[in-house]
Structures are given as structure tokens and as C-alpha cells.
A and B are shown apart, each in its own frame.
Chain A
Amino acid sequence: MVIGMPNLDPLKCDLLVIGRGMAGMAAALFAANRGLSTVQVGMTGEIVFASGLLDLMGVYPIEEKKVWQDPWAAIDSVVGDLPDHPYAHLTKDEINASFVEVLSFLQKEGLTYCREEKYNSRMINPWGKTKVTYCVPKSMWSGVKALPKKPPCLIAGFRGLSDFSARQIVETLRHQWPKLRAAQIPFPDTSHVKEIFTGDILAQSLELSINRKKLIESLRKRVKDAEVIGLPAVLGMHHTDEIISELEEQIGVPVFEIPTPPVSVPGLRLNEAFIRGLSAKGVKQFPQNQVVKIRRVKGEEFVAIIGHKPVQHTLLTKGIILASGRFWGRGLYADRHRIRETIFDLPVYQPENRDKWHSDDLLESGGHAINLAGVEIDHLFRPLDSSGHPLFHTLFAAGSILAHHDWMRMKCGSGVSIASAYGAVKASLRLA
């Protein structure tokens, strides 16, 4: 019995994963695949804001804006300069293996990703800039293929989807891709009285064949000489690949999705695929619940209290992977003077005062110092105390909470999350 904790028979597990972003999802997957009994808690993570693209390593050094075609060479370069970058704790084989495992899991869940194993792919983003990324949802792959050839192409947007303008993409890319053409079409589902839509509403509507029919009709009228059509990424929530095949058959040209700003449907698809697949694998999930209290008991085990009264759970676990994210995920919190880790109050590597957190310019080429702040770890992904020793034998950290990487500028967000989750789960098996 632990004083001050609810007097209930505790749940027991091998591993508690705190966090439901990309790192938390990947960690739960790797753990379940290795036979660990796994519990996952946390609020909906950054994953719903994810574009659905999986970056590995794109830009380094960021102040030189050097964009890499070969992400593996980019990893060598960054690890050579920054020995504390999360990738420094992994081999390239491990990083690749972590991607293989996630991608095959997602494929089984009906979400197919495409990649050139050795290289980054280039695609257009919702602002008509071209962007490198590593893994691309299959629904976007025809766009990746079309970009270097630049055939006549129609980009169509929907009236009322105000975060996406086909005309903006075409105008911005015009000098590079003269045969791009823009159209704005009414959204086929007229049952909505609202004049403004979000992507998820559109995606749900397109699950209905009657709405797809109307969409096909209006695209047929506009396709003309276009050899390929790009649409915002709202082509269905659950049956995207089938929906795209149907459009392609009926219109007669390849169709691809273009990522949109949040709410991003591909991000939602990713989230749903994880939730579905993880519960099928027996991961016990407590969505929208937080760890409210945690302490170490006998030996190396932890007791965690999850959720708020009256529905509170007590959990006894052998190990923990902390994948609670950064500020948005609330793994980190800053007051006026200092950045804290919110669950264990772990030491946080950070600039000495607030004046040093951010540069004078939002788009400062060197990035903001605060983005390198986070939890420092040893080679087994264990958070360190102020003297550089692991704080607990079986507490691990993964994902964006880790110090010494700037995922937004280096374009390594998903990669660091997936690979560090892999490293943390492997370490937990070694130390069990």
C-alpha cells in the first residue's frame, strides 16, 4: 500500500508509455510487438497537427539552409557536429528498422506510405513551395512523381476550405511549373449550410459515393489537357486509396493529395490507424487522461495515478517511457523564468534566461535556442540528473521532449520520434 494513493487493486504492466504523439504511438507499437504488456496514457498529442508526412532528416546546418537529398548522409553530418543529437544514440540500421516496423504496421492498418529508401522525396506544400520529406502517404505519391516532370496539371481547391487556395499554389509555383492551372470548385456535399469547412468534415463527406460522383463530374468538366490532378488532402477518412482509385478510373488521370494546414486529415488518419492497431495488439489506452501522480516503489517499479477523480486508475509498472512532447504536448512548461518537465520535474537543458529563448526574428536562420531545450539522456535513453547519471534505472524518454534537436528547422520530427521510441523500447528490454 502506498500512502496517499487510492486504495485499489492496481493494474500491472511492463511498460507505461506517457504520451500519444508520434513518439508515444511508436513506443507503444514497438513494446507491444515485443510482447511487453503496455499501457498508454496522455492527451491527444501533436500528431493531430501533423501533416501526415514523415520527415527523417532534411536540413542541416540550419543556418546554411542546406537541404539534403540523402537523409542518411544528413544524419552523419548532424551527429558528427552535435554528439548529443538524439540520432547520435542510434545506428542507421536501427533507425531504418524503426521505420520499417512502423510502415508495415500502418500498411496493415490500411495506411500505405511510400518512400525512396535511400533518399528524401520532394513534394509541393500547401503554399506552393517545394519541400523535402522522407515518407509520403500513398495518396500523395503521384504528386511526388509529377513534380520533376511538370506535366500539365490541374490543382483544384474547394470553396469554403479557407486554409487551402489552389490559386496560391499555382501563382507561387508558376515560374517553376508553367503548366499548372488552378480551379476553385464548390464542395459537392450541399447538405452543409455553413459557408466554411474544415478538412475533416470534407473527408467524412467524401466517404459517401453520392458526393464522390458529383466531385468526379465537376473535375471531369475541368480536367481538359491536364495529365494529373492535385486536390487538398481531404479525399476520405478511412478509404482514401480506394477513393483515389475510383477518381482516377473515372476521370482518366492520376490524382494526388496535397497536405493542408491543420486540421490535417492525413494526420487524423495516422492517429486513427495507430489507435486501432494498438488496441488490436492489446495496448491498454487511456486517451485524454494524464498521469497526475507518480512515484517509485520497491526496487525499480513505479506507481502511477492516472486521470482525475472519480474515475482514477492506479498502475504498477516496471518501466516508463516519457514521450509527453514539448510545450504543445505539455511535457514541458515554462513560467517567466524557467522551463520545467511537468511529470517528474526532470532537469531540463535550457538557455540561462528568457531573453535567450527566442531570437529577434521569428524566421531567424539559426533557429531559436529554446528549441534545443529538453531532457538530456544517456545512450540507453534514460533522463540524466544534474551530475550526468540516469535518474532511474527504468525511466526512458523519447520524442520531441529530448534536448539538442530542432525538429521544425532540421525537418527530423517524425524520424526522431520513431527512432528514439525504438531505442527506448530496446533499452527497456535490455534492462528489464
Chain B
Amino acid sequence: MTDLETQVLIIGGGATGTGLARDLALRGVQCILVEKEDINAGASGGNHGLLHSGARYVSNDPVSAEECRSEANLLRQLAPQCIENTGGLFVGVEGDDENYIADFPLLCSKCGIPIQEISREEAFDREPGISEKLIAAYLTEDGAIDPFKLSLENLAQAQSLGCIFLQHVKVIGFEIRKNRVETVHVLDTESGQQRLIKIDQVVNASGVWAAEVAALANIPIKMLYSKGSLLVTAHRLSHQVINRLRPPSDGDILVPGGTVSILGTTSVRVHSLDNVRPTVEEVDLIVDELAEVVPGLQEARYVRAYSGVRPLIQAQKSGDDRAVSRGFTVFDHTHDGLENFTTITGGKLTTYRLMAEKAADLVCKKIGISSPCLTLTEPLASVKKGKWTEPGLSPRVWLKEHASRKPILCECEMIPEDIIDDIVETIRNENGTSSFKAVAARSRMGKGLCQGTVCGMRVTSHLYEQGILHSDQGLVNIKEFLGERWKGERTVLWGEQLIQAGFKEALYCGLLDLEL
């Protein structure tokens, strides 16, 4: 059992944790980031990918609305490679609350959010798929953000500045002496090995798991869980983000993401964080609701659905004063009797940078470092690592480098052999195991129409030929990979996608006997 030591231990490799690692690293603070699964295993990998203009929150949460507005502006300048500036359209249709529609412009201007009313004709011009029942349309500055690229690039820069990243490493306990955490117990979930990390400060950035992690240090955080589900179409169905012009509700938003569109979302109370999946009922609700705005969604082809869980922080006993805003919460647990323990949770992907900044400010104050936050001005460096997650990128690169092309392993997303090799190499350099799940998290592998049917087979064979897989590891890997895809597919299997799933089962069960 090797012991590690660090100034700051960050728990959770989502947008907040990786953003915080970068922020601290830029201030010269030495840190270790531990993640129990892989990058973006939590809400950062299960969200809508909407860079909020803030317009959605103007009625019920103006603080969040303003945070979103200013952070989105910053990200557009500092991390343009992670963002598609699609623009947004808020659309009201017959039957929607006309008072809300009437109040909308004023509410936006109160939060400093620029909008522009447009005519029916212009709305149809911009988005031909919109319903004839349109009664109001406003342009906004919403956009699409690639959360995988964002986290991978934040992490890459942090690592280049000395931050250590440990994946598949879960925090399982704290050793507390007097009013301080002295050591953190972690478990390597792949090897089963336990380790101790000596720390000066701990930041709990574990998102919806924040209460569970805090409980390990006997700190109570009152939290409720709200599951949201999303649906991915086979093709991109709009140019812009389309948002239903009504108070936030289920099935309101259609976000384009590269070559696909994402529909969402729902809000369902859940009591456990295990086995969270979308249901058939949610899928039908989302399709029916959004089809009122974009009728073609009834006939569209869907490739998968997925879910994420939002943490809902309940008012703490000592009052609301520690809450920075209703959007996110920074807890200085000095108030709970632990001086060097901080929790940051809640918020949005859009505000991840601000959350990291606030948490880093507090930690720096505690360790007496006065360097200013640099993420406000320093652009996010673009690194190779994150680049294969962008939908539609591999086909573009592939077409450009046509001359030296390699065999395509994933035909839906046009991923050639050398890109897979590239990713496997990167993971190896991070001391990770090249499970398919890890490759899939870093590329578009398995995300297309066939949902891993063909690429699953080809990547397996390829990795054996490369000497990366041994004995029956391929079977273990493919089962895990297909199982992961299936979670997303199960609820959207009708029409063409059901035919596709039948082919998958015929191949993997009928021919390959994978179930036996």
C-alpha cells in the first residue's frame, strides 16, 4: 500500500472537479484529483449539453439566469473549441401561457439577457421544422457545449501543470484528528487495493454524491435527487437550440449537438443513485411534449436515451447564508467542525468555471495563498485528448486525410483504426486500462445508428491483433460495452431502431453466443 501526499485533494472528475483542478493548478497549488469511475461519469456525462443564455431561468431563478449569462459569455471567448454558437430560439405555441409570453421580454431585460423578437416568417425561415401553431418567437444566445471535451481539456491543462489524476479511485473514508481531516482512504476499484492520501485540504466536488461523501466525514448535507432524462436523435433536426417559451417544465428543449439533436428533459424524484435509467414513460412524454413545438419529432429516429441526476440542496439548519446563489452551493465545513473540508455542488455545466473559482478562492484563503483566479482571463488550451468526442469530427478528419487512410472500425461515426490507437495510447499514458468503456468515453465509438454493433466487433478484433487484449478479455469488454449501450437503447426501440437492435442481438447472441 503506497501512501500519497498532496496539498489539495479534489473528489470527483466531473466538470466542477476538473475545472477546479485547472483553476488550482494555475494558481500554483499542488493537487490530486480522484474519480471513482472515469471522467464525466456523473451529471457531466449525462446532461443536455446546453450552454444556457440564462433565458430559461428568468422567471423562477434570476440569480442563476445572470450567472449563466455572464459565464456563457466568458466561455464563448475562452473555450470556443468546446462550444457551438448555434443561437437559441424561444417558441410559444397555441395553448401556452400568454401571460408568461408577455412578461418574458421584461424578465430577460431585468437579468441583462439580450433577446430579439422575430416574426413568424423569420422563425420558419430559420427553423422550417417548427409547428404551424407558433404564436411567439424570440432569438437568444443559447448554444451547445461538448462536456467531454470541456472536462478532458481542463484536466489536460491541470495535468500539464503537475496535477495528478487517479481514475477508478473512490474515496471511502476520512481520518479525522481534532478539527481536521488528516488522511483520506481511497479504494482502487479495479485492483481492489486501498491507499491512503495525506492531505492539507479536501474539496468534495462529487456532484450528486456530495452528501454521501460528506457523510463519510460525519457531515450532514440535506439533499434530494432529481433524475432528468434525454433522448438522442439519429440526425440533427434543427440549426438552433429550440426552447419552449413557458415556465420550465418537462420536454422543453431541443439542443443540436454536432450531427445529432438532443431532446429533454424530465424531472423525476429518485431515492437512490444506483441503476438510474430512463424509462419508456419518460421517453414518450418527452417526444409528445416537444412534438408540439417540432411536430417532426413524432416520426424521427432516436438512437438512445440517457439520464442524469441533479442534486437538490435543501436549506441547511444554519440557514441559507452559506449559499453563494440558488444555482450552486459552496459549503465551508468549518461551520460543521471540520476546518479543511469544503463541498461544492449543484449549479450547471454552464457555470462550472465560476463554481471552481469560488471553491478555489475559499481553499486558497484557507491555505494562505493569494494568487488570483486565472481562469477568468486565460483561454482553455485545446489539446488532442478531447478532440475525438466531437460529433462529426472524425468524418471530417478522415475525409481530409483521405490519402493516408486506415481501415474504418466504426462506420456510423467513421472512426478509423489510427484514431482508436491514438486514444488507447492516451489512456495508457494515464495508467488507465483501455476498456471499451474508456475508449467510448473519449470518442464517438458506439454513438451512431448501430449503437456499437459493428464497431464493437471490429474494435475487439483490432485490439486483439494489436496485442492489447488477451485471453478472454474481449468477451468481458464487449459485454460491458454492449451493456452500457443497451441502457440507452432499450427505451427507444421502435421503428428503424428496433430493426437495428434485432440485428445486434442476431449477431451477438444468434451467431456469437455471447449470452451463453
Enumerate chain A interface residues (CB-CB to B < 8 A).
46, 49, 51, 59, 65, 67, 125-129, 131, 157, 160, 162-165, 167-168, 171-172, 174-175, 184, 195-196, 259, 261-262, 326-328, 330, 333-336, 353-355, 357-365, 368, 371, 407-409, 411, 413
| Complex CA distance for A52 and B385, rounded to whole angstroms | 43
**B513 with A196: CB separation less than 8 A:** no
Interface residues on B, range: 35 or more
- Which partner residue on chain B sits nearest A160 by CB separation? B407
Q: Which residues of B contact A358 (CB under 8 A)?
A: 490, 493, 501
Q: Which residues of B contact A172 (CB under 8 A)?
A: 471-472, 474-475
Q: Which residues 470-494 of B sit at the A interface, judged by CB distance below 8 A?
A: 470-472, 474-475, 479, 482-483, 485-487, 490-491, 493-494
Q: Given contacts A129-B513, A167-B464, A355-B279, is CB(A327)–CB(B407) below 8 Å?
A: no
**A162 with B409: CB separation less than 8 A:** yes
| Complex CA distance for A131 and B515, rounded to whole angstroms | 12
Query: In the complex, which of the residues A131, A162, A407 has the most CB atoms of chain B within 10 Å of its own CB atom?
Result: A162
**A360 with B506: CB separation less than 8 A:** no
In the complex, what's the smallest C-beta–C-beta distance from A420 to chain B, in angstroms? 18
**B510 with A408: CB separation less than 8 A:** yes
| Complex CA distance for A425 and B101, rounded to whole angstroms | 66
The 0/1 profile, CB within 8 Å of A marked 1, for residues 270-283 of chain B is: 00000001011100
**B514 with A363: CB separation less than 8 A:** yes
**B472 with A162: CB separation less than 8 A:** no
**B503 with A49: CB separation less than 8 A:** yes
Q: Which residues of B contact A67 (CB under 8 A)?
A: 516
Q: Which residues 497-516 of B sit at the A interface, judged by CB distance below 8 A?
A: 498-499, 501-516
**B462 with A165: CB separation less than 8 A:** yes
Q: Which residues of A contact B483 (CB under 8 A)?
A: 361-363
Residue B458 lies at the interface, judged by CB distance under 8 Å to chain A: yes
In the complex, what's the smallest C-beta–C-beta distance from B61 to chain A, in angstroms? 34
Q: Which residues 279-324 of B sit at the A interface, judged by CB distance below 8 A?
A: 279-281, 284, 287
Q: Which residues of A contact B461 (CB under 8 A)?
A: 162-165, 168
Contact residues of A: prevailing secondary structure: loop
Q: Which residues of B contact A368 (CB under 8 A)?
A: 505
| Complex CA distance for A359 and B509, rounded to whole angstroms | 15
In the complex, what's the smallest C-beta–C-beta distance from A342 to chain B, in angstroms? 12
**B406 with A195: CB separation less than 8 A:** yes
In the complex, what's the smallest C-beta–C-beta distance from A186 to chain B, in angstroms? 13
Q: Which residues of B contact A411 (CB under 8 A)?
A: 510
Residue B457 lies at the interface, judged by CB distance under 8 Å to chain A: yes
**B512 with A125: CB separation less than 8 A:** yes
- Which partner residue on chain A sits nearest B473 by CB separation? A171
**A168 with B469: CB separation less than 8 A:** yes
Q: Which residues of A contact B482 (CB under 8 A)?
A: 362-363
- Which partner residue on chain A sits nearest B462 by CB separation? A162
Residue B408 lies at the interface, judged by CB distance under 8 Å to chain A: yes
**B505 with A171: CB separation less than 8 A:** no
Query: In the complex, which of the residues B464, B467, B470, B479 has the most CB atoms of chain A within 10 Å of its own CB atom?
Result: B464
Given contacts A163-B457, A408-B505, 15 further A-B contacts (CB under 8 A): A65-B516, A125-B511, A127-B474, A127-B475, A165-B465, A168-B474, A261-B512, A355-B280, A359-B490, A362-B482, A362-B485, A363-B508, A365-B515, A408-B510, A409-B509
**A327 with B457: CB separation less than 8 A:** no
16 cross-chain CB contacts under 8 A: A51-B510, A51-B511, A128-B472, A129-B513, A164-B461, A168-B469, A168-B474, A171-B469, A184-B465, A262-B507, A334-B493, A335-B494, A358-B493, A360-B277, A360-B490, A361-B486
In the complex, what's the smallest C-beta–C-beta distance from A256 to chain B, in angstroms? 17
Question: What 6 pairs across the A-B complex have the smallest Cβ distances?
Answer: A165-B461, A168-B464, A196-B407, A362-B486, A355-B280, A408-B510
